[in-house]
Structure 1
Amino acid sequence: MSGQARSGSRHLPPGLHIIHEDRDIIVVDKPAGMLTMATEAEKTRTAYYALTDYVRKGNAKSRYRIFIVHRLDRETSGILLFAKTEAAKRTLQDQWGDTTKIYAAVVHGQMDKASGTVISHLVESGVHKVYSTRDARLGKLAQTAWTVVKEKGGYSLLRIELLTGRKHQIRVQMADLGHPVAGDRKYGGKGDNFSRLALHAASISFAHPFSGQRMTLEAPMPTIFAQLVGRAQLP
């Protein structure tokens, strides 16, 4: 079942849209500014909380629940995949290495070539900030493939494929290249006043945990990105 209006949809907060739903999985387009799951400071304004309420249709005693498969940063919008059973979660996570994850990012400046792959090792500091290290013993291997889609003025729209899935990977590696993601308050330069992080999980391709059928689901690029690079679509 795709994400059309249904009896439980009234329980979804504004901006959180269902792209696909069936017996085993639920896939949403998460808005920028929403957490995937709870933190010490925020318990309820999360995609997990909203979708739990959605599948229970407001009945807190309902036996229905959802399971987190992966996460997106609060500031990142786009495709987020949840499982409806623990078995589906395990299957999806076991095959995560075969899952294709494509992002759209608007970065500062123009790249010096049409495409490339960034390889580094990433470490998380005690203040939840990630940085690169040359010491493979300290950091986790991170690989990001990028392709220029469009350039305009002082910005470039990139199609990015995550070859590994480390925390803040795209943001750190693009900043390491000297091309931070627009609107990145943590890893970008001072004076960047774009209203949000210009990073969007655009598509995901995976084998359905029950049928095994390959699925590709997409979340349209936010229209606000056009303020930086004009109208464009990922290839």
Structure 2
Amino acid sequence: MSDGARYVFEVSDDAGERLDLLVAKHAQCSRTQAATLIATGHVRVNGGKQKASYRVGVADAVTVTVPPPPGRDIVPEQIPLDIVYEDEHLLVVDKAAGMVVHPAPGNWTGTLVNALMGRGEPLAEGGGEDRAGLVHRLDKDTSGLLVVAKTDASHRILSTALAARQVTRRYAAVCWGHLTEDTLTVDKPIARDPRDRTRMAIVQTGKAARTDFVRLARFDSVDLLRAHLHSGRTHQIRIHLSSVGHPVIGDDTYGGGGGRKLAALPPRRHFLHAAWLRFKHPVSGAVIDLRSPLPADLRLSLATLGEMPELATHQDPLDVFGFYRTDELPGARGAAER
């Protein structure tokens, strides 16, 4: 459900369903949110109001108008950021785990956007004030590289390149268990989980999503993977790995949260890091190739899981396992080769 959005649909296969359930499905919101929209007059059936319990008919036309949230100023904040690239057109942030990317209910302050605004530099306005400059996003507990546009022209060009799969984004992930092969492609559509609107899920009517995985190392209980995104759905890597029975370790939402002590992971941290970003500069056309070494908490986790204590202090353990090789099959490595 998007603030300010308007949904119009005709009832067909859903005839006989309660209005609140129908609205929740089509507007991608919770049943409680749907009931609130109905009670506040933001849902019309054939132009008139109905109760949440109303059973829709096959000829009914339903209109849902989602009201915008009450105005709330986004406050600039002086929050340190790790900027790994910057010019007058864009910048690239190496985001720390635990930082929310943009303001939203429950997280109006302390976000990346608050920090970007606090720098006093210009930011693209195309995405709205609460998403100022953002070209793409990372989950709160995912660390790594993220592009921010300073001008609307750069934002437009970079967003188009992202949609055309001309921006290479590769993530380091550790999953529970072992893939059956050294390479795996998961091509499954993603949408809001119809049973829990706070989560995403594999839904046949969802948006197309593809992720390529390459196993870089096989340890006793986990695999170290390189994930290559071909699309950018919310929680995509986490959902795709969970769907094949190998969730990201530390992922409490999608089944990988157990074994935190074994993995030496801190609370609310999963092993997913946006380590490699490659794209053409929106103005000069020059190739920008940026790499983010594993942060200290993930280095320690990898050293523990792989029984390789030297990795905890290595400058970039991903280099050890061929993460940055340009061929698509670096080959499996692991304890057996040590």
TM-score, normalization by structure 1? 0.86
Q: State the alpha-carbon separation in 1 of the partners of residues 257 and 286 from structure 2.
A: 46
Q: What is the CA distance between 1:202 and its match in structure 2?
A: 0.6
Aligned to 2:272: 199
Counterpart of 1:118, as a letter, is V
The answer for unaligned runs of 5 or more in structure 1 is: 1-9, 57-63
Q: Are the aligned partners of 1:105 and 1:200 in contact in 2 as well (CA < 8 Å)?
A: yes
Q: Tell me, what secondary structure is at the counterpart of 2:145?
A: strand
Aligned to 1:53: 118
Match of 2:169 among 101, 104, 108: 101
- Larger CA Rg, structure 1 vs 2: 2
Q: 1:189 to 1:211 in 2, by over 3 A?
A: closer
Q: Are the aligned partners of 2:101 and 2:140 in contact in 1 as well (CA < 8 Å)?
A: yes
User: Is 1:41 paired with 2:106?
Assistant: yes
Give per-residue Cα distances to partners, 1:43-92, cap 9 Å, x unaligned.
Answer: 22111110111134xxxxxxx33511111111110001101111110111
Q: What is the CA distance between 1:207 and its match in structure 2?
A: 1.0
User: Is 1:131 paired with 2:196?
Assistant: no
User: Is 1:30 paired with 2:89?
Assistant: no
User: Is 1:214 paired with 2:287?
Assistant: yes
Q: Which has the higher strand share?
A: 1
Q: Which has the higher contact order (CA 8 A, sep 6+)?
A: 1
What do you get for the CA RMSD once the two structures are aligned? Answer: 1.7
Aligned to 2:234: 167
- Runs (4+) of structure 1 moved beyond 6 Å? none
Q: 1:190 to 1:212 in 2, by over 3 A?
A: closer
Q: State the alpha-carbon separation in 1 of the partners of residues 101 and 201 from structure 2.
A: 22
Report sequence identity in percent: 36
Larger displacement relative to structure 2 (223-232 or 87-96): 223-232
Q: State the alpha-carbon separation in 1 of the partners of residues 119 and 257 from structure 2.
A: 40
Q: Tell me, what secondary structure is at the counterpart of 2:180?
A: coil
Query: How does 1:9-20 map onto structure 2 within 5 Å?
Result: 11-13=78-80, 16-20=81-85
Q: State the alpha-carbon separation in 1 of the partners of residues 175 and 301 from structure 2.
A: 9
Q: Are the aligned partners of 2:250 and 2:256 in contact in 1 as well (CA < 8 Å)?
A: no
Match of 2:189 among 121, 125, 144: 121
Counterpart of 2:254, as a letter, is Y
Q: What is the CA distance between 1:109 and its match in structure 2?
A: 1.2
Q: What is the CA distance between 1:224 and its match in structure 2?
A: 2.3
Q: Tell me, what secondary structure is at the counterpart of 1:225?
A: helix
TM-score, normalization by structure 2? 0.60
User: Is 1:78 paired with 2:162?
Assistant: no
Q: State the alpha-carbon separation in 1 of the partners of residues 273 and 206 from structure 2.
A: 25
Larger displacement relative to structure 2 (186-195 or 75-84): 186-195
Q: Are the aligned partners of 2:173 and 2:273 in contact in 1 as well (CA < 8 Å)?
A: yes
User: Is 1:223 paired with 2:296?
Assistant: yes
Q: Tell me, what secondary structure is at the counterpart of 1:104?
A: strand
Q: What is the CA distance between 1:189 and its match in structure 2?
A: 4.2
Counterpart of 1:47, as a letter, is L
Q: What is the CA distance between 1:192 and its match in structure 2?
A: 3.6
Q: 1:65 to 1:183 in 2, by over 3 A?
A: same
